[in-house]
Structure 1
């Protein structure tokens, strides 16, 4: 996350895709180091192993792609920021190895183009845009109703590119290996467009979408590190230390996490009630059948709604859709205030107008922080930990709280503490034929829209089954 924005910025330009095999090869050489340490080598090591299932399915698809028989899109789960690195490892190391073992002949490079959020270069720096463009990346401006240049580029690559294309249909990370966020319809729509473009060109390739699930597990349950993290969160939040010694280890950690969550929600409710004049009742739910967990989650969702309302009221944006939809629209609204397309040359502005523009940019950045906090909790549920009280689920939830406190305490978001060594588990799902579905959805616009909707639902179900 960048430091606080205090001045207006020129508009974000589209970063043209300039695939360079040499740059990709260098990235592949450095990949094991990046997986283990990412960008902060002084933190506890990260991913030390990647396992994959049903990889022969992907190897065969690459063989058919290289033979000109199919076009395909990799629709991968996106729970963590490490997912793209794991996907690169899958394609560069595991697929070629499995292909050799299965006697599947691959004639050329096993890689893919991919879509990435244009905002990543805002917080990471311009170097990331340069790198992504050289390894096949296409930037997408999230929140924009129609990013024409990105859509046209991705559509062209899907239909005519030398490689398949990879897209995260969730649109962003949710921090949960065990929960799939609602999918955006873009992946299904791209599949239908590809079939349409191939038919117009009198080409016979079959269009396929391949669901891919990614999950993470610790090599050893990091209970001691989790205890340290919870103690830090309790201290940073100002929550008085309280010894909890009844119950199993999992029960004690769960009580501590719930106690911390209730304290933070209560503090944030008062924050929005007092300083943003939000109507938030001080009493809990009157539903006697609701469990304490359900009451807590209901309060959290009400708080997230109020936080978004504060930002929506400022930007004049209507509240429509789920939390993710609302966050996307607010991100676009904020960027329009900061990255000013209506100012051809901000350096040529007179001091008075430049001061007003800087004022607006700084305030927009502050308002967007409410939305950033909401983004961290869009997938939190009342039963996620109770269903499977594993170290992974405790850690995921505690790290989301860490993100929230970090955003509030500082203008920069520090790297998450590494709680232990992790392994990534990748599952390649059964290919979904878009061509067949396209034939069944011919007729009118309603049938086409329904076809996209049905494909999106089926892709969601496939990903959910793969991580259950």
Structure 2
């Protein structure tokens, strides 16, 4: 998450792809070291890689175009996915005696906001790796045009996260944005206009994180720290699921009471008191109200899902901070600049409410109760920890260490976009909706615990 902005900024510029093979080679060398030193990931497994090898072979033979639509539960997702593409696909191709042209790589779409919190080096690196930026909360014509061109004409296949943002959960897929399906149909349209015969596919890519050991003691310590931060009594119960779950529920109820009072008292929201409503109902109402508080400031009408509302708020806030109407802040008079800075700071403060909601958009309130495994406990605990850090004004990106992790990537069955072209020509909106729903179903199927058990 970007830090609080107190000064007006120049407008966010589109970052066009500028692929550099030398940069790719260096990145391919350094990423395994980065994973080892900077993440808890120690093992990356992949299923159905043979299918991805076949897809790359057909792509290089100019028979197909495809986009990898990957699940996005964790900010680290690009790292294991890079190892799937750069290492496991070429390795599997050699086993199958299939020759793939080097480099095996993928263009990718990324949120223009990532360099704002990841660092300036990302502003330089991602374009050099063939990435193209996109503004998620508005019609980004330059970004869409670039992504559309790469899908139809790029040197490599495409990769993108249809959820649009991380949700922190292995087994819960956020509602997908329709942009990926629309890009697929645009690719078919562009190929048809160019009288090219490649088939177009969207390939679902599942990804899950599993702790190698169930470190309940470490989890109990994180819960204890959260309880201390909240002023709650830590009963030092045994670090077992049956003992920790009541503490997790108690913590959830306390935070709901706290935040309901916060919005009731200081933002004058009509939240009922002392109800017997279940936690999931209260949580969803609180998320809705937090967004309304920010939307009322920006004069935005609540519309769409929580995720869609978050994206719209984010973009509007950026419009207040990264001013299109101010090309050179230095040319402003001191008074004008002071007012512009005040607007930027106020917008940044209002976006704080959206950031809180962003962390909880996929939380149902029953995620642990449905299957109280260590992985689920850890995921919800880290989401709560992130919220506490935002409330304290700390750094929510430095999550607590709960042990080494194994990443499991699953290559799903390709979904043909070309076969749906006639449906698209008949009813574009419905065709995009149907394709998005099929992709949602595919990702959800790969995310089910019975097919990917906790370990």
Match of 2:438 among 434, 450, 458: 458
Q: Secondary structure at the match of 2:22?
A: helix
1:52-89 residue CA offsets vs partner (Å, 9 max, x unmatched)? 00000000010000011111110000000111111100
Find the counterpart in structure 1 of residue 161 from structure 2. Answer: 168
Question: How does the TM-score come out when normalised to structure 2?
Answer: 0.96
Q: Secondary structure at the match of 1:10?
A: coil
8 Å contact 1:3–1:411 — kept in the other structure?
Answer: no
8 Å contact 2:283–2:365 — kept in the other structure?
Answer: no
1:329-374 residue CA offsets vs partner (Å, 9 max, x unmatched)? 1001101111111112111111111111111110110110010000
Q: Secondary structure at the match of 1:442?
A: helix
**Following superposition of structure 1 onto structure 2, how do residues 106-117 of structure 1 map, counting pairs within 5 Å?**
106-117=100-111
Find the counterpart in structure 1 of residue 32 from structure 2. Answer: 32
Distance 1:387 1:100 in 2: 42
Q: Secondary structure at the match of 2:29?
A: helix
Q: Secondary structure at the match of 2:296?
A: helix
**Following superposition of structure 1 onto structure 2, how do residues 391-410 of structure 1 map, counting pairs within 5 Å?**
391-410=374-393
Find the counterpart in structure 1 of residue 331 from structure 2. Answer: 348
Find the counterpart in structure 1 of residue 126 from structure 2. Answer: 132
Measured on the aligned residues, the alpha-carbon RMSD in Å equals 1.3
8 Å contact 1:4–1:411 — kept in the other structure?
Answer: no
Distance 2:348 2:446 in 1: 38
Q: Is the alpha carbon distance of 1:243 and 1:228 closer, same or farther for their aligned partners in structure 2, counting shifts above 3 Å?
A: closer
Shift of 1:136: 1.3
1:270-310 residue CA offsets vs partner (Å, 9 max, x unmatched)? 11111111111112136xxxxxxxx1111111111111111
Aligned: 1:53 with 2:47: yes
Distance 1:341 1:254 in 2: 49
**Following superposition of structure 1 onto structure 2, how do residues 342-381 of structure 1 map, counting pairs within 5 Å?**
342-381=325-364
Question: How does the TM-score come out when normalised to structure 1?
Answer: 0.94
1:202-242 residue CA offsets vs partner (Å, 9 max, x unmatched)? 10000011100000000111211101100111011111223
Aligned: 1:275 with 2:269: no
Distance 1:71 1:423 in 2: 31
**Following superposition of structure 1 onto structure 2, how do residues 139-150 of structure 1 map, counting pairs within 5 Å?**
139-144=133-138, 146-150=139-143
8 Å contact 1:2–1:412 — kept in the other structure?
Answer: no
Distance 1:212 1:273 in 2: 42
Find the counterpart in structure 2 of residue 8 from structure 1. Answer: 8
1:66-114 residue CA offsets vs partner (Å, 9 max, x unmatched)? 0111111100000001111111000011111111112222123211000
Q: Runs of 5+ in structure 1 lacking a partner? A: 39-44, 287-294
Shift of 1:2: 3.4
Find the counterpart in structure 2 of residue 317 from structure 1. Answer: 300
Aligned: 1:249 with 2:240: yes
Q: Secondary structure at the match of 1:68?
A: coil
Distance 2:330 2:434 in 1: 49
Shift of 1:10: 0.7
Find the counterpart in structure 2 of residue 262 from structure 1. Answer: 253
Shift of 1:24: 1.0
Distance 1:272 1:91 in 2: 46
Distance 1:412 1:421 in 2: 22
